[in-house]
Amino acid sequence: MVPTKLILTNFQSFRGEHVIPLPRGLTQILGQNLDDAGSVSNYSGKTTLLNALSVCLYGRSPLIARSKGFINWDERWASVEVVFDDDLSIKRYIKHPDHGNKILKGCEEFVEVTQDEIDDIFGSFEAFVATVFFGTNYSDFLEKILKKPVEAKELLTSLIPKLQVFDEALNWVREKMNGIDKSLRELELEESNVRGQIQSLSKIDYEKKKEEFEKKRSDDIAFTEGSIREYESRIASFGKLPDEKKVRDEIAKKEKQSAAVNDSLAGLIKEAGIYERQTSELKAKVNEVSRNMKSIKSGICPMCKQSLPRNSDLTVEGCTEKIKKLDDELLGIRRKHIQCEREMDDFQGERDALFVSVRALQKSLESIREIAEMQNTLKSERERLGKLKAMANPHVEEESRTAETIKGLNSGLEKMAGERKRIQESLPYYEFLQKAFGPRGVKNFVFDEIVFKLTEASKQYLDYMTNGSIQVRFDPRKEKKSGGFTETIGLEVSSNGRVLDDFLLRSQGERKKVCLAVDLAMNQLLSEMFGAPLEFVVFDEAFDGLDRMGVELFCSLLRSQLGRIPQMMVVSHSPYAEDLFDQQITVVKENGESRISSKQLYGPSPLINAVPLIRKLNLRER
């Protein structure tokens, strides 16, 4: 897959949305920093384009430590989208207020995906850095050889799936051996447990258990018989009791009579209340007439408090007659009230008698219930006594079962011994496989062949750029000064047939050529053995340390690989090399923000294509 378009939104120095076409062929990426004339092309945002490709696919870049550095300093979120030639698009949001850090994939419609799904499509981040994204100084692989050779071997092994097959096979063998070891330990533990069970069961004294059971059963029979006698005696002490249904019916009858008495009593209490109220009202009237009569005797009108005229209707005789009538009426009500109270006393006596009668009947009912409960308990005790007398001694059967259990456990021990023997017999087979798939086994020979191919590819590219004056050789293991070898990748660089003691002390141009050759060799090796899905490479500051001839040779070498890698992008400070490229992308930075300016070139001149031939003939440019 080849990227055709890069869309940046608020990414690093690119504020807002920027759509950047990524054509096939050789593309030079230049910079122009208008904010700082002294920087020329530095800090313009050239490398930002490379970072964007890495961040879009993997969420990180080998050149930026924190995700906060992905977002433009005047914005709070960013997004990066890469469109490929098969219309597949990958879009990644960074701290978006609505989408967060979502990853989207799609052609016409986007769907959310995980980083693992992205890795399944494009390969791991480590493979991307080792075969596509080539940094400013050393290649990722060469840097590990020079500084951490053990990690270099681990990196190469992890990048090539064919070698991972051996690791998977070795892991499988180790899992099997761990399983065997676990099975043997489990068998040993199980055998120990079984022996412990046999020993524990053999120590049980069943004769003593049987004797204890018989003694306890005799005691229980004696206790139950005593309990039966006691309940029979208590039931007999109650004598003959009335029928429970008759008692309940009599209680219901008495309670009904009591309710009727209570109703009558309530009516009388209400009637007595009426008489009391009437008596009170009549007494109040008598008192009022007496006061009026006293006022009339004094010649004062009781209503207006004025002097009475001589011919007034209000007389003492009239008041006296009125008082007499009220007293007669009060006497009649008093007689009725007394009669009512007598009737109330009668009903209360009847109610109390009914209560006593109901209470006596309830006690009889309680006795009937108590006898019924004791009869039920007596029945249960008799049943229990029958079971106790009929019960067989359980320890007899338990002793027989224990003997069968010990027999079964001994049989299990024999089976475990056979299983242990079978497992131990398979152990040498897995030990052989462990050696075969281990570091000294088949993987070692395959790894040697891969390292040999890496050496051959690196030599091929170095011959192109140096006319064979610089040679490189990788060893699958490094020789110790004290003798023997270490399981790391060794590097030997020679110039004109003389081995260089310290590669890092060579000129920048020589180091750069070796690095570029190793980068291309790693890309070729993984493409051939893995079928890398990404058909493009990017070089950051690839021309640093190279003279004009070195730049031309490298560009000519890249052009010769366009059939295998259809898209190559080179970040550089060398505007004079534009005649070596097919197109040019210039990143212009002004007022703190970057923008893109693209330019279609005419491709290399025939002289450039002849550079390798000129170099082989040891001719100089004129």
Same domain, 152 and 276: no
Same domain, 99 and 190: no
Point out the domain boundary residue: 414, 437, 460.
437
The DSSP string of 5-59 is: EEEEEEETTEEEEEEEE--SEEEEEEEEETT-GGGTTTTSSHHHHHHHHHHHHHS
Cβ-contact 498, 140 below 8 angstroms: no
CA angle 133, 137, 140 (to 5 degrees): 50
Name the pLDDT band for 139 (thresholds 50, 70, 90).
Answer: low
Report yes or no on 228 lying in a domain. no
Same domain, 427 and 458: no
Instruction: List pLDDT tens digits, range 225-270.
Output: 999 999 888 888 888 778 888 888 888 998 898 899 899 889 989 9
Name the pLDDT band for 620 (thresholds 50, 70, 90).
Answer: very low
The Cα 11–Cα 80 span in angstroms is 7
pLDDT at 622 over 50: no
Same domain, 362 and 447: no
Cβ-contact 180, 430 below 8 angstroms: yes
DSSP 412: H
Cβ-contact 514, 493 below 8 angstroms: yes
- Strand 25-33, strand 583-590: pairing: parallel
Name the pLDDT band for 190 (thresholds 50, 70, 90).
Answer: very high
Same domain, 37 and 128: yes
The radius of gyration of the chain from alpha carbons, rounded to an integer in Å, stands at: 58
Same domain, 263 and 176: no
Report yes or no on 466 lying in a domain. yes
pLDDT at 616 over 80: no
Q: Which domain CATH number covers 487?
A: 3.40.50.300
Report yes or no on 375 lying in a domain. no
pLDDT at 50 over 70: yes
Name the pLDDT band for 138 (thresholds 50, 70, 90).
Answer: very low
pLDDT at 508 over 70: yes
Same domain, 429 and 446: no
Residue with tokens 């384009």: 49
Same domain, 136 and 185: no
The Cα 78–Cα 94 span in angstroms is 5
Same domain, 587 and 465: yes
Mean pLDDT throughout 46-73?
A: 83
3-state secondary structure of 303: coil
pLDDT at 222 over 90: yes
DSSP 1: -
Residue with tokens 């009239």: 318
The Cα 187–Cα 285 span in angstroms is 115
| The residue type at 92 | R
pTM: 0.57
Mean pLDDT throughout 31-43?
A: 81
Same domain, 120 and 193: no
Q: Which domain CATH number covers 278?
A: 1.10.287
Mean pLDDT throughout 367-395?
A: 90
Report yes or no on 377 lying in a domain. no
Q: How many domains does the chain have?
A: 3
Mean pLDDT throughout 201-220?
A: 91
Residue 158: the pLDDT is 66
Phi-psi domain of 221 (left: phi exceeds 0; alpha: psi -120 through 50; beta: other): alpha
The Cα 67–Cα 65 span in angstroms is 7
Phi, psi of 469 (to 5 degrees): -75, -25
pLDDT at 293 over 50: yes
The Cα 434–Cα 307 span in angstroms is 144
Name the pLDDT band for 619 (thresholds 50, 70, 90).
Answer: very low
CA angle 202, 203, 207 (to 5 degrees): 100
Mean pLDDT throughout 361-390?
A: 89
Which of the residue ranges 55-59, 106-110, 141-145 would you say has the lowest mean pLDDT? 141-145
Residue 580: the pLDDT is 87
Report yes or no on 312 lying in a domain. yes
Which of the residue ranges 28-32, 61-65, 178-182 would you say has the lowest mean pLDDT? 61-65
Mean pLDDT throughout 169-182?
A: 89
Residue 604: the pLDDT is 60
Q: b/e map of 53-62 (b: 16 or more CB within 10 Å)?
A: bbbbbbbbbb
pLDDT at 424 over 80: yes
Instruction: List pLDDT tens digits, range 79-130.
Output: 999 999 888 999 999 999 999 999 999 887 899 999 999 988 888 888 888 7
The Cα 498–Cα 506 span in angstroms is 13
How far from 41 is each of 133, 381, 546, 588, CA to CA, in Å?
21, 109, 18, 8
HSE value, Cβ hemisphere, 13 Å, CA-based, for 270: 6
Report yes or no on 392 lying in a domain. no
Mean pLDDT throughout 310-338?
A: 85
Residue 59 or 303, more confident: 59
Report yes or no on 86 lying in a domain. yes
Mean pLDDT throughout 7-28?
A: 93
Point out the domain boundary residue: 437, 467, 491.
437
Token digits of residue 44: 């313009």
Residue 441 or 85, more confident: 85
Same domain, 484 and 419: no
Same domain, 164 and 15: yes
Phi-psi domain of 537 (left: phi exceeds 0; alpha: psi -120 through 50; beta: other): beta
Which of the residue ranges 32-36, 528-532, 533-537 would you say has the lowest mean pLDDT? 528-532
pLDDT at 307 over 70: yes
Domain residues for 255? 242-370
Q: What does the mean pLDDT of the chain come to? A: 84
Q: What percent of the chain has pLDDT over 70?
A: 88
Report yes or no on 380 lying in a domain. no
Which of the residue ranges 54-68, 410-424, 445-459, 546-560 would you say has the lowest mean pLDDT? 54-68
Mean pLDDT throughout 368-382?
A: 89
